[in-house]
Copies of this chain bind each other. A is one copy, B any other.
């Protein structure tokens, strides 16, 4: 398809586009290569192995997340943590198996440090110790990763629903567990609200434990 010069960025971009069509399981080097009008082994000129390509994809995902996250100027710790957490979730949801790709990879650059530094700075400026700042941001980060991982297990892409989870069948299996049965609706419907309320719990906790608001 694309006949121009091939470099790491173009490969990662192409792979990310393909990811939404075929998912992580279908993302073979041969498929990516075909999209670039090239044979599979050519990719080894640019990446030492497939994991290195996945790492580049994760890094590019993060780059786009940072670019797409508008942080209000003068935002304080609370707002920053809300906005960056929502931004991460939105970014991961933008790709099929986005959370899996992301959390199975390691960054190839230090782009992530910019946002991390600004977030930590906001906390420290507000009076948190560095340790408190790290724990707070990291907890939000890991909650978001876990959340989207599970969410994408049910909704591979926003709007799509994965087969094999019938609400009625679930209710029947959980006869004898009335609360768990009723919990189904709360869990599997309204992921947006669930995420927001989880974040809200965390923020409340940060506030309550530090006394900083």
Q: Does A208 contact B (CB under 8 A)?
A: yes
Least Cβ–Cβ distance between A122 and chain B, in angstroms: 10
Q: Does A150 contact B (CB under 8 A)?
A: yes
The one of B104, B149, B177 that contacts A145, using a Cβ cutoff of 8 Å: B149
Residues of B within 8 A of A180 (CB): 113, 116-117, 120
| A163–B14 alpha-carbon span in the complex (Å) | 29
Q: By DSSP majority rule, is chain A's interface helix, strand, loop, or mixed?
A: helix
**Interface of A toward B, CB cutoff 8 Å:** 100, 103-104, 106, 110, 113-114, 116-117, 120-121, 124, 130-131, 133-136, 138-139, 141-147, 149-150, 153, 164, 173-174, 176-180, 182-183, 186-187, 194, 197-198, 200-209
23 A-B pairs within 8 Å (CB atoms) are namely A103-B146, A103-B149, A106-B164, A113-B174, A113-B176, A117-B177, A117-B180, A133-B183, A134-B186, A135-B186, A135-B194, A135-B201, A139-B201, A142-B143, A142-B146, A142-B147, A142-B150, A143-B143, A145-B150, A146-B149, A201-B205, A202-B202, A204-B208
